[in-house]
């Protein structure tokens, strides 16, 4: 299926992630037995699992499934899973992971804005850290498709990084971020004008806001935004020991002052059909 005009046709980086993992799984399949959720350390993890329960026999479509780790975990809990991704090799890697773990799942290459499924087929449409790779128009189409393939009463669960405050976004951009072990290059400070411009040109993602995510889901009967990660903004400025406590402190802060969620860095959006 050809991607829409506003999607980059270059899938080489994503496909390499899939092809390299496929080689690893074929060499050492036992290393890839799924024993726990790959998202267990994410701030949204507990809330996401609560919304997914009960998992047994639930029909789930995971859009942007990547290499299939989270879908495989859901499959070990009894869910019936179909996953899609634009990357052919990512879909192949996810299929191999499902085979190794003997779960009820199938994967195919497909675009989120033109899903090859009948209306009202799924109980849940799931996307974790996917929509910020899409243009505004493509994101809106993807949510329209999610609405179409959901059964009445079903839900789309979307987990995304966001930036709802221009001021905090600017403050964050002032401080350079070192390269990560996951292949992310160093992010320069916005004050390094030439380096910042060059860095921006390499990105294949963009900043989302809770407002955009609400607006794009206007056809759903209910949209609930669960916010996380207010204090996570401080992780580069505090000690390692305190950094480990930030998720716990963050949850306590938002329980006492939920209005601070507007300054959070992550959201779990629940769209109810």
What is the C-alpha to C-alpha distance for residues 25 and 89, in angstroms, rounded to an integer?
13
Q: How many H helices and E strands in the chain?
A: 9, 7
Locus of tokens 């024993």: 35
CA–CA separation, 38 vs 44, rounded Å?
A: 12
Domain count, the chain: 2
SS3 46: helix
Nearest to 46 by CA among 243, 254, 259: 254
Ranked by mean pLDDT, the top range of 18-32, 140-154, 257-271 is 140-154
Question: 120-135: per-residue pLDDT in tens?
Answer: 999 999 999 999 988 8
Q: Specify if 3 maps to a domain.
A: no
Segment 144-171 mean pLDDT: 89
Looking at the structure, tell me whether residues 193 and 71 fall in a common domain.
Answer: no
Q: What is the mean pLDDT of residues 93-115?
A: 93
Cα 227 from chain centroid (whole Å): 14
Contacts of residue 85, Cβ cutoff 8 Å, sequence gap at least 6? 14, 64, 65, 66, 91, 94, 107, 109, 110
Q: Percentage of the chain surpassing pLDDT 70? A: 85
Between CA 55 and CA 32 the distance in angstroms is 22
**171 pLDDT more than 80:** no
pLDDT given for residue 219 in this prediction: 95
Residue 28 lies in a domain: yes
Q: Is residue 5 very low, low, confident or very high in pLDDT (cuts 50, 70, 90)?
A: very low
Flag whether 186 is in a domain: yes
User: Which range (53-62, 70-79, 164-173, 251-260) has the least confidence?
Assistant: 164-173
Tokens 């935004």 correspond to what residue?
Answer: 225
| Mean pLDDT score, 225-236 | 87
pLDDT tens readout for residues 180-212: 655 567 776 767 777 767 666 666 678 899 999
- Last residue of some domain: 178, 204, 230? 204
Average pLDDT, the chain: 86
Token digits for 267?
A: 């959201």
- For 53, the 3-state DSSP assignment is coil
What pLDDT, on a 0 to 100 scale, did the predictor assign at position 148?
Answer: 97
The whole domain housing 190 covers: 165-204
Report yes or no on 2 lying in a domain.
no
* Domain-located, residue 1: no
Claim to verify: residue 27 and residue 47 sit in the same structural domain: yes
120 and 16 together in one domain? yes
Decide: helix, strand or coil at residue 116: coil
Q: Same structural domain for residues 53 and 24?
A: yes
Question: What pLDDT, on a 0 to 100 scale, did the predictor assign at position 204?
Answer: 66
Interval 72-95 mean pLDDT = 93
Residues 20-47: pLDDT tens digits? 888 999 999 999 999 999 999 898 999 9
CA 207/CA 95 separation, integer angstroms: 31
- Are 95 and 216 contained in the same domain? yes
- pLDDT at position 6: 43
11 neighbors 90 (Cβ within 8 angstroms): no
Which residues, 6+ apart, have CB-to-CB distance to 120 below 8 Å?
Answer: 149, 150, 151, 152, 154
If pLDDT is split at 50, 70 and 90, which confidence band does 167 have?
A: low
Half-sphere exposure of 209 (CA within 13 A, CB side): 9
Count the alpha carbons within 13 Å of 26 in the hemisphere toward its beta carbon.
9
Q: How confident is the model at residue 53 (pLDDT cuts 50, 70, 90)?
A: very high
Residue 4 located in a structural domain: no
CATH of the domain at 130: 3.40.50.150
What is the pLDDT confidence band of residue 8, given thresholds at 50, 70 and 90?
very low
252 has pLDDT over 50:
yes
How far apart are the C-alpha atoms of 131 and 68, rounded to whole Å? Answer: 17
* 3-state percent helix, strand, coil for the chain, nearest multiple of 5: 45, 20, 35
Is residue 7 situated within a structural domain? no
Instruction: Inform me whether the pLDDT recorded for 233 exceeds 90.
Output: no
**66 and 189 in one domain?**
no
């Amino acid at each position: 299926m050809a991607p829409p005009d506003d999607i980059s046709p270059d899938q080489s980086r994503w496909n390499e992630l899939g092809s390299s993992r496929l080689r690893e799984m074929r060499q050492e399949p036992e290393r890839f037995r799924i024993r726990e959720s790959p998202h267990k350390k994410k701030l949204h993890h507990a809330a996401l699992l609560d919304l997914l329960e009960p998992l047994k026999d639930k029909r789930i479509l995971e859009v942007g499934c990547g290499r299939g780790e989270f879908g495989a975990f859901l499959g070990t809990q009894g869910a019936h899973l179909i996953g899609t991704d634009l990357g052919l090799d990512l879909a192949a890697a996810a299929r191999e992971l499902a085979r190794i773990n003997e779960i009820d799942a199938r994967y195919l290459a497909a675009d989120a804005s033109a899903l090859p499924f009948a209306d009202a087929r799924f109980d849940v449409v799931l996307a974790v850290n996917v929509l910020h790779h899409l243009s505004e128009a493509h994101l809106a189409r993807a949510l329209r498709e999610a609405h179409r393939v959901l059964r009445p009463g079903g839900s789309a669960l979307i987990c995304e990084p966001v930036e709802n405050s221009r001021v905090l976004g600017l403050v964050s951009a002032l401080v350079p971020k070192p390269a990560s072990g996951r292949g992310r290059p160093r992010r320069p400070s916005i004050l390094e004008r030439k380096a910042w411009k060059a860095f921006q040109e390499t990105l294949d993602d963009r900043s989302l806001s809770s407002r955009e995510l609400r607006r794009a889901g206007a056809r759903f009967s209910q949209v609930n935004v669960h916010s996380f990660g207010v204090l996570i903004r401080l992780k580069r400025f505090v000690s390692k020991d305190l950094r480990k406590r930030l998720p716990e402190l963050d949850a306590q802060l938002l329980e006492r002052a939920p209005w601070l969620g507007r300054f959070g860095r992550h959201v779990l959006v629940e769209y109810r059909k």
